[in-house]
């Protein structure tokens, strides 16, 4: 509407309102301009972060902060921040920050490249700092939570590199400077191993734990026994981790408990996830595992994957919930349609969010009862590949 028309309409309204002055409420007050919302310093337990990798235009990836327990999009969407070119994120609520590895070219898809660690402030979803990373090294692949990890009393951030040579870059989060780059030859990803060490999974079928000096250099490497064959009996690199125990599903439907609490990772006896249950069940999908505050483990399961190579990324129709310590199947949650990634909220009343790849929506379930709650399909998402509970 043109300004002139607006003025004319406004004048007409003023006349008619004046004629009915005794019957209408007072006009709305003039409102301040320029107000920007903010979020609570600690996100509520029912909130989630949806990582939309923008698979068809990856330099425009983003993360949407949502409360899926609300009914309308106005109450569901809390905010958003960008993560360029298949980046990865990690929440650090103790520091009030979210870290994101990103890559940019000066002219969009071309021009000089820069890799950065972006530091987002959780309250304002503002980029409050960055650290320039070594060019062309940071892991750039499907989103994963096994590529960043806090060390040294949350002072250092460890970032996994795959170029395809593998290493870990240590960043001092206080000074926002790089501490060191630690080679991890033949080994990938980052799993907890105490305050000054991290564990990686290796191509030769074992784990290596890298112990660090106060300067961020390699102090010692310890290695577990070989316990899987990366050709014939591969494990997923995506475990659930509960009380220092990591539970790695295998492509063939086994679960490998690995004790990460000591100086060296200790694989324990694997067990069949499905046991006597009919079908060729195995974990499948992108984010295939999570855990809740009670210590239960959640696995996204596919009934045709255990004996058929190539089905490990497809996702599945059910989520199975285990007490992994006693190897007890607590419940099977049948999804509405299909799941690609799952995440479970923390707190006493956990909710489960699931990416439905059929229509690229996300769906909310009561994680305790398995009841479907609602579908969220119009929250600005395109390819919600990875989900995180708010921490």
Q: What is the DSSP string of 246-273?
A: EEEEBTTSEEEEEE-SSSS-EE---EES
Judge residue 95's burial from the number of C-beta atoms within 10 Å of its C-beta, 0-12 exposed, 13-18 middle, 19 or more buried: middle
Q: Is the Cβ of residue 37 or residue 231 nearer to another protein in the bound state?
A: 231
Q: Smallest distance from the beta carbon of 153 to another protein, in angstroms?
A: 28
Cα–Cα dist 131/128, whole Å: 11
Q: Choose one: 12-20, 200-208, 255-263, 273-281; the region binding another protein (CB under 8 A).
A: 200-208
Cα–Cα dist 211/198, whole Å: 7
Cα–Cα dist 134/180, whole Å: 11
Q: Is the Cβ of residue 55 or residue 271 nearer to another protein in the bound state?
A: 55
Cα–Cα dist 263/198, whole Å: 10
Q: Smallest distance from the beta carbon of 136 to another protein, in angstroms?
A: 7
How many CB atoms within 10 Å of residue 337? 13
Q: Is the Cβ of residue 81 or residue 236 nearer to another protein in the bound state?
A: 236
Q: Smallest distance from the beta carbon of 315 to another protein, in angstroms?
A: 7
Q: Smallest distance from the beta carbon of 105 to another protein, in angstroms?
A: 6
Stretch 268-327 residues interacting with another protein (CB under 8 A):
286, 304, 308-315
Q: Is the Cβ of residue 65 or residue 376 nearer to another protein in the bound state?
A: 376
Cα–Cα dist 63/149, whole Å: 19
Number of residues that bind another protein (CB under 8 A): 54
Cα–Cα dist 190/239, whole Å: 11
The Cβ-side half-sphere exposure at 81, using a 13 Å CA radius, reads: 25
DSSP tag of 36: -
Q: Smallest distance from the beta carbon of 12 to another protein, in angstroms?
A: 49
Q: Are 145 and 139 in contact (CB under 8 A)?
A: no
Q: Is the Cβ of residue 216 or residue 249 nearer to another protein in the bound state?
A: 249
Q: Are 298 and 342 in contact (CB under 8 A)?
A: yes
Q: Smallest distance from the beta carbon of 238 to another protein, in angstroms?
A: 8
Instruction: Give the sign of the dihedral formed by CA 63, CA 65, CA 67, CA 73.
Output: negative
Q: Are 103 and 117 in contact (CB under 8 A)?
A: no
Single residue of 159, 340, 364, 387 touching another protein by CB under 8 A: 340
The Cβ-side half-sphere exposure at 356, using a 13 Å CA radius, reads: 18
Which has the closest alpha carbon to 233: 209, 206, 259? 206
Q: Smallest distance from the beta carbon of 237 to another protein, in angstroms?
A: 4
Stretch 54-113 residues interacting with another protein (CB under 8 A):
55-59, 85-86, 103, 105, 108-110, 113
How many CB atoms within 10 Å of residue 342? 26
Stretch 132-191 residues interacting with another protein (CB under 8 A):
136, 139-142, 162-164, 166, 187-189
Q: Choose one: 9-17, 124-132, 342-350, 354-362; the region binding another protein (CB under 8 A).
A: 354-362
314 φ/ψ sector (left φ>0, alpha ψ -120 to 50, else beta): alpha
Q: Smallest distance from the beta carbon of 45 to another protein, in angstroms?
A: 29
Cα–Cα dist 224/201, whole Å: 10
Output the six-digit token pair for 241.
């981790």
User: What binding mask, one character per residue, do residues 242-271 give for another protein by CB under 8 A, x or -?
Assistant: ------------------------------
230 binds another protein (CB under 8 A): yes
Q: Is the Cβ of residue 236 or residue 247 nearer to another protein in the bound state?
A: 236
Q: Is the Cβ of residue 109 or residue 153 nearer to another protein in the bound state?
A: 109
Q: Is the Cβ of residue 69 or residue 250 nearer to another protein in the bound state?
A: 250
Q: Is the Cβ of residue 73 or residue 358 nearer to another protein in the bound state?
A: 358
| Interface residue list for another protein (CB under 8 A) | 55-59, 85-86, 103, 105, 108-110, 113, 136, 139-142, 162-164, 166, 187-189, 200-203, 230-232, 234-237, 286, 304, 308-315, 338, 340, 357-360, 383, 385
């Amino acid at each position: 509407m043109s300004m002139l028309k607006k003025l004319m309409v406004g004048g007409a309204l003023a006349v008619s309102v004046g004629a009915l002055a005794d019957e209408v409420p007072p006009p709305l007050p003039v409102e301040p301009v320029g107000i920007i919302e903010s979020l609570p310093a600690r996100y509520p337990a029912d909130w989630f972060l949806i990582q939309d990798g923008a698979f068809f235009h990856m330099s425009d990836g983003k993360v949407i902060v949502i409360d899926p327990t609300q009914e309308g999009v106005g109450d569901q969407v809390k905010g958003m921040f960008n993560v360029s070119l298949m980046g990865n994120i990690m929440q650090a609520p103790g520091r009030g920050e979210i870290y994101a590895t990103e890559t940019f070219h000066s002219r969009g898809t071309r021009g000089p490249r820069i890799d950065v660690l972006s530091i987002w402030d959780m309250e304002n979803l503002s980029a409050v700092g960055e650290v320039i990373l070594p060019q062309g090294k940071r892991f750039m692949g499907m989103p994963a939570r096994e590529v960043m990890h806090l060390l040294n009393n949350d002072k250092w951030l460890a970032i996994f590199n795959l170029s395809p040579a593998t290493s870990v870059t240590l960043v001092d989060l206080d000074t926002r400077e790089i501490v060191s780059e630690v080679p991890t030859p033949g080994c990938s990803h980052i799993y907890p191993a105490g305050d000054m060490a991290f564990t990686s999974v290796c191509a030769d079928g074992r784990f290596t734990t890298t112990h660090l000096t106060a300067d961020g250099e390699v102090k010692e490497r310890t290695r577990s026994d070989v316990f899987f064959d990366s050709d014939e009996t591969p494990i997923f690199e995506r475990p659930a981790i509960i009380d220092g125990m990591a539970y790695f599903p295998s492509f063939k439907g086994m679960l490998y408990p690995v004790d990460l609490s000591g100086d060296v990772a200790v694989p324990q006896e694997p067990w069949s996830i499905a046991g006597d249950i009919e079908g060729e069940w195995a974990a499948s999908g992108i984010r295939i595992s999570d855990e809740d505050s009670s210590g239960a483990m959640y696995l996204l399961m596919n009934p045709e994957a255990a004996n058929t190579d190539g089905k490990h990324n497809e996702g599945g129709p059910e989520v199975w919930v285990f007490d992994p310590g006693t190897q007890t199947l607590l419940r099977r949650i049948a999804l509405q349609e299909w799941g690609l990634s799952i995440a479970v909220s923390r707190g006493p009343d956990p909710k489960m969010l699931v990416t439905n790849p059929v229509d690229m929506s996300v769906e909310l379930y009561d994680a305790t009862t398995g009841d479907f709650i609602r579908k969220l399909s119009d929250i600005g998402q395109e390819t919600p590949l990875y989900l995180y509970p708010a921490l």
